[in-house]
């Protein structure tokens, strides 16, 4: 019972903070609301008994990626004066495009209640032992391939960061 | 989830919180006394016996001072930031096992607030969000020195978190658990982790210095270059919060280092002399605090011994020395753990 209330509470917060990210005028405020939004999503993971995922979510997104975002935005010193002004038809087309995306997503979610999951949900899958076993036994190849992908991204970032390539 | 359980946890949390604050308070006194001792001075000796009331006097002074909020700053974030800094500093105490367990009135009371099965990751997560307090404070002050201090703090903490994380992974490999309580329990007697992971311990201690922004890594508040760093614009108790958060972080890092590498509440040969379980548990708490106090003294000792790094030296040390060393440590640990499998490949 209490988990249901917590679910609705966290969902409300997540949506509210998500809206605040978009609606805030100040980019620093947007980043901070996004961090709060990530915390509520970590709370959802805890409700699903996926503690490892929750804490890794906090470490990676809130602790590393958003700190870098904040870092860059603070150094750029964005404010109202430097804000680029878009033309009206660009704004209108953006609103139409994202509005139709919203319609598509709502329409696809409308039929989601009839979808039956084929696997039964294992509530202990989020615990670190089970997650490790699953990743390194059942999904070993995708796991290793994704690590190669990250390595490629890292090497690419270093290459782009170099001033001159000899 | 009975009421008794709830009350016991509540008492434990309040106790941990109170002890943390008192130790942080007296760390300011100890810092000045240790500095005095190392520089052949007396240190504070006016307020009370041997200056023992000095922290109280300091706290009263900080509370009574005029509070200044710069008119151009971002008011909400400016007020929020020191509180955030203190909050994240206090959050880590819950997963540290302060002792084994006490047996009172036929029930067992563990001296650890909660033994999360991802305790180490929880610690790491709280440390990684600890940087927000400094960053927001530095930015909201609307002062270039504050902003530079905050930038330095965040890049320093992100850089040293990598080496710290890799050295912890090597520790997790040898202990086989992420629970801080189990790591402490495994180090019974002489099985301290520093004997298994000496290099990992060294890397972790160096990174802990950098994460707490203590000398020789105190570049975020480097007075000669940045006035006061990220808390230049802060006055009164808001600045007190930042200083307090630093001392709490120092206390918690000493507790974490003691628990991870120096046996936590364990002490060899104690079990031979003391047989009562409750007395042993209480002695464990005493030993843990003795180790923590030595750790805090070590932090201060280093501060007054080693001069501050230059910023490029700091980054070189982090990225070009500590990270390769920690990866080497990881590989060596893995190789040693799999030595039979590796040898059997060559022998056959």
> What is the interface pTM, i.e. ipTM, of the complex?
0.80
**Is residue A105 in a domain?**
no
pLDDT per position as a tens digit, B138-148: 888 888 888 88
Residue B98 has pLDDT above 90, yes or no: no
Listed in sequence order, the residues at least 6 apart from B110 whose beta carbon sits closer than 8 Å to its beta carbon are B97, B100, B101, B181
Chain A residues whose CB is inside 8 A of the B132 CB are 32, 35, 67, 70
Q: What is the pLDDT of residue A166?
A: 58
Contact B203, B164 (CB under 8 A): yes
User: What chain B residue is nearest to A127 in terms of C-alpha separation?
Assistant: B117
User: What chain A residue is nearest to B146 in terms of C-alpha separation?
Assistant: A74
Nearest-CA distance from A116 to chain B in Å? Answer: 32
Contact B211, B300 (CB under 8 A): no
Tell me if chain A has a CB within 8 Å of the CB of B161. yes
Mean of the pLDDT values across residues B69-95?
83
Listed in sequence order, the residues at least 6 apart from A103 whose beta carbon sits closer than 8 Å to its beta carbon are none
In which band, very low, low, confident or very high, does the pLDDT at B183 lie, cut at 50, 70 and 90?
confident
Residue tagged 């391939």 (tokens)? A145
Residue A158 has pLDDT above 90, yes or no: no
Listed in sequence order, the residues at least 6 apart from B243 whose beta carbon sits closer than 8 Å to its beta carbon are B28
Nearest-CA distance from A58 to chain B in Å? Answer: 6
Residue tagged 């120092």 (tokens)? B250
Domain count, chain A: 2
**Cross-chain CB nearest to A55 (options B121, B150, B151):** B121
Q: Cα(B16)–Cα(B112) distance, rounded to whole angstroms?
A: 10
User: What chain B residue is nearest to A52 in terms of C-alpha separation?
Assistant: B118
**For chain B, percent of residues with pLDDT exceeding 70:** 97
Chain B residues whose CB is inside 8 A of the A67 CB are 128, 131-132, 135, 154, 158
| Distance, CA of B176 to chain centre | 23
Would the CB atoms of B77 and A28 count as touching at under 8 Å? yes
Provide the pairing of β-strand B107-110 with B101-104.
antiparallel
Q: Cα(A37)–Cα(B329) distance, rounded to whole angstroms?
A: 37
Residue tagged 């006016």 (tokens)? B46
Q: Cα(B270)–Cα(B190) distance, rounded to whole angstroms?
A: 11
**For chain A, percent of residues with pLDDT exceeding 90:** 22
In which band, very low, low, confident or very high, does the pLDDT at A97 lie, cut at 50, 70 and 90?
very high
Residue A100 has pLDDT above 90, yes or no: yes
| Segment (H or E) for B38 | helix B3-38
Residue tagged 């927000």 (tokens)? B132
Residue B74 has pLDDT above 80, yes or no: no
Would the CB atoms of A74 and B117 count as touching at under 8 Å? no
Chain A residues whose CB is inside 8 A of the B125 CB are 55, 58-59, 62-63
**Closest to B54 (Cα-Cα) out of B33, B85, B69:** B33
Residues A2 and A65 in one domain: yes
Residues A11 and A74 in one domain: yes
**Closest to B313 (Cα-Cα) out of B181, B184, B219, B177:** B219
Nearest-CA distance from A142 to chain B in Å? Answer: 22
Would the CB atoms of A64 and B178 count as touching at under 8 Å? no
Residue B86 structure tokens: 């203190």
**B224-227 own/partner pairs: CB under 8 Å, 24+ apart:** B226/B145, B226/B148, B226/B149, B226/B152, B227/B145
Q: Which domain holds residue A36?
A: 1-79
**Is residue A109 in a domain?**
no
Residue B227 has pLDDT above 80, yes or no: no
Supply the DSSP symbol for B73: S
Residues A69 and A3 in one domain: yes
Chain B residues whose CB is inside 8 A of the A127 CB are 117
Residue where one domain finishes, among candidates A23, A49, A79: A79
| Angle in degrees, 0-180, between the axes of helices B277-303 and B236-261, rounded to the nearest 10 | 120
Supply the DSSP symbol for B216: T
**Is residue A164 in a domain?**
yes
The number of helix segments (H) and strand segments (E) in chain B equals: 16, 2
Average pLDDT, chain B: 84
Mean of the pLDDT values across residues A33-38?
90
Q: What is the pLDDT of residue A96?
A: 94
Output the CA–CA distances (angstroms, integers) from residue B334 to B157, B170, B261, B338, in the order listed: 27, 8, 18, 6
Mean of the pLDDT values across residues B86-109?
81
Q: What is the pLDDT of residue A148?
A: 93
Q: For residue A45, report the phi and psi dihedrals to the nearest 5 degrees.
A: -60, -40
Chain A residues whose CB is inside 8 A of the B161 CB are 63-64
Average pLDDT, chain A: 84
Nearest-CA distance from A66 to chain B in Å? Answer: 10
Output the CA–CA distances (angstroms, integers) from residue B7 to B4, B11, B109, in the order listed: 5, 6, 12
Tell me if chain B has a CB within 8 Å of the CB of A23. no
Apex B300 CA angle, B297 and B304, nearest 5: 140
| Segment (H or E) for A5 | helix A2-23
In which band, very low, low, confident or very high, does the pLDDT at B1 lie, cut at 50, 70 and 90?
low
Q: What is the pLDDT of residue B328?
A: 92
Tell me if chain A has a CB within 8 Å of the CB of B319. no
Q: What is the pLDDT of residue A93?
A: 92
Would the CB atoms of A51 and B118 count as touching at under 8 Å? yes
Question: Per-domain residue ranges for chain B?
Answer: 66-347
Would the CB atoms of B121 and A52 count as touching at under 8 Å? yes
In which band, very low, low, confident or very high, does the pLDDT at A165 lie, cut at 50, 70 and 90?
low
Q: What is the pLDDT of residue B8?
A: 82
Q: Cα(A83)–Cα(A73) distance, rounded to whole angstroms?
A: 13
- The highest-confidence range among A53-67, A119-133, B42-56, by mean pLDDT, is A53-67
Nearest-CA distance from A12 to chain B in Å? Answer: 23
Would the CB atoms of B118 and A52 count as touching at under 8 Å? yes
**Is residue A94 in a domain?**
no
Would the CB atoms of A74 and B122 count as touching at under 8 Å? no
Q: Cα(A23)–Cα(A68) distance, rounded to whole angstroms?
A: 21
Mutate which: A50, A71, A124, vs B, most B CBs within 10 A: A71
Would the CB atoms of A52 and B125 count as touching at under 8 Å? no
Output the CA–CA distances (angstroms, integers) from residue B206 to A132, B73, B167, B215, B314, in the order listed: 30, 35, 11, 11, 11
**Cross-chain CB nearest to A58 (options B129, B131, B136):** B129
Position with higher pLDDT, B224 vs B2: B2
pLDDT per position as a tens digit, A15-35: 999 998 888 888 888 888 999
Range from B31-35, B100-104, B257-261, B319-323 carrying the lowest mean pLDDT: B100-104
Listed in sequence order, the residues at least 6 apart from B9 whose beta carbon sits closer than 8 Å to its beta carbon are B113
Tell me if chain A has a CB within 8 Å of the CB of B121. yes
In which band, very low, low, confident or very high, does the pLDDT at B303 lie, cut at 50, 70 and 90?
confident
Residues A72 and A4 in one domain: yes
Nearest-CA distance from A137 to chain B in Å? Answer: 18
pLDDT per position as a tens digit, B53-65: 888 888 888 888 8
Q: Cα(B171)–Cα(B22) distance, rounded to whole angstroms?
A: 31
Q: What is the pLDDT of residue B187?
A: 82
Contact B81, B248 (CB under 8 A): no
Q: What is the pLDDT of residue B134?
A: 85
In which band, very low, low, confident or very high, does the pLDDT at A12 lie, cut at 50, 70 and 90?
very high
Counted across chains A and B, CB pairs separated by less than 8 A come out at 63
Chain A residues whose CB is inside 8 A of the B169 CB are none
Range list of H helices, A48-139:
51-57, 66-76, 88-110, 128-133
**Closest to A42 (Cα-Cα) out of B118, B89, B79, B248:** B118
Residues A1 and A69 in one domain: yes
**Cross-chain CB nearest to A75 (options B129, B136, B151):** B151
Sheet strands (E) in B76-202: 101-104, 107-110
Tell me if chain A has a CB within 8 Å of the CB of B18. no
Apex B81 CA angle, B77 and B86, nearest 5: 155
Residue tagged 């927001």 (tokens)? B136
B216 cis-preceded (ω within 30 degrees of 0)? yes
User: What chain A residue is nearest to B120 in terms of C-alpha separation?
Assistant: A55
């Amino acid at each position: 019972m209490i988990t249901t209330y917590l679910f609705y509470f966290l969902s409300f917060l997540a949506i509210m903070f998500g809206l605040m990210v978009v609606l805030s005028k100040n980019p620093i405020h947007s980043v901070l609301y996004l961090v709060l939004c990530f915390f509520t999503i970590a709370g959802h993971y805890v409700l699903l008994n996926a503690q490892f995922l929750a804490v890794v979510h906090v470490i990676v997104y809130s602790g590393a990626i958003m700190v870098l975002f904040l870092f860059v935005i603070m150094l750029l010193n964005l404010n109202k004066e430097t804000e680029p002004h878009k033309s009206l038809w660009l704004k209108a087309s953006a609103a139409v495009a994202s509005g139709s995306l919203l319609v598509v997503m709502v329409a696809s979610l409308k039929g989601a209640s009839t979808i039956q999951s084929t696997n039964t949900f294992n509530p202990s899958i989020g615990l670190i032992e089970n997650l490790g076993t699953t990743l390194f036994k059942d999904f070993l190849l995708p796991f290793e391939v994704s690590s190669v992908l990250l390595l490629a991204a890292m090497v690419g970032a270093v290459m782009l960061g170099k001033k001159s390539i000899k | 989830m009975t009421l008794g359980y709830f009350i016991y946890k509540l008492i434990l949390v309040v106790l941990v919180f109170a002890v943390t604050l008192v130790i942080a308070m007296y760390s300011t006194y100890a810092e000045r006394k240790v500095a005095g001792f190392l520089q052949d001075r007396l240190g504070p000796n006016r307020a009370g016996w041997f200056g023992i009331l000095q922290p109280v006097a300091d706290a009263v002074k900080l509370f009574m001072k005029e509070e200044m909020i710069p008119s151009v700053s971002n008011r909400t974030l400016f007020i929020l930031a020191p509180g955030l800094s203190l909050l994240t500093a206090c959050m880590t105490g819950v997963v540290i096992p302060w002792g084994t367990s006490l047996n009172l009135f036929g029930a067992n009371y563990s001296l650890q607030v909660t033994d999360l099965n991802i305790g180490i990751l929880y610690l790491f997560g709280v440390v990684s969000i600890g940087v927000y307090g400094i960053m927001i404070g530095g930015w909201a002050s609307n002062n270039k020195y504050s902003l530079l201090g905050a930038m330095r703090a965040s890049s320093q903490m992100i850089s040293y978190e990598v080496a710290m994380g890799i050295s912890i992974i090597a520790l997790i490999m040898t202990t086989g658990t992420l629970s801080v309580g189990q790591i402490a329990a495994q180090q019974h007697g002489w099985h301290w982790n520093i004997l298994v992971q000496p290099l990992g311990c060294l890397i972790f201690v160096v990174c802990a210095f950098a994460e707490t922004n203590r000398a020789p890594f105190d570049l975020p508040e480097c007075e000669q270059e940045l006035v006061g760093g990220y808390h230049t614009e802060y006055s009164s108790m808001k600045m007190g919060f930042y200083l307090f958060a630093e001392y709490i972080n120092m206390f918690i890092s000493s507790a974490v280092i003691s628990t991870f590498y120096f046996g936590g509440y364990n002490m060899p040969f104690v079990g031979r002399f003391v047989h009562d379980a409750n007395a042993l548990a209480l002695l464990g708490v005493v030993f843990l605090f003795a180790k923590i106090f030595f750790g805090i003294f070590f932090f201060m000792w280093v501060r007054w011994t080693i001069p501050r790094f230059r910023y490029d030296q700091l980054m070189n040390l982090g990225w070009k020395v500590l990270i390769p060393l920690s990866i080497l440590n990881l590989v060596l640990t893995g190789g040693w753990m799999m030595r039979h499998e590796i040898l059997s490949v060559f022998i056959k």
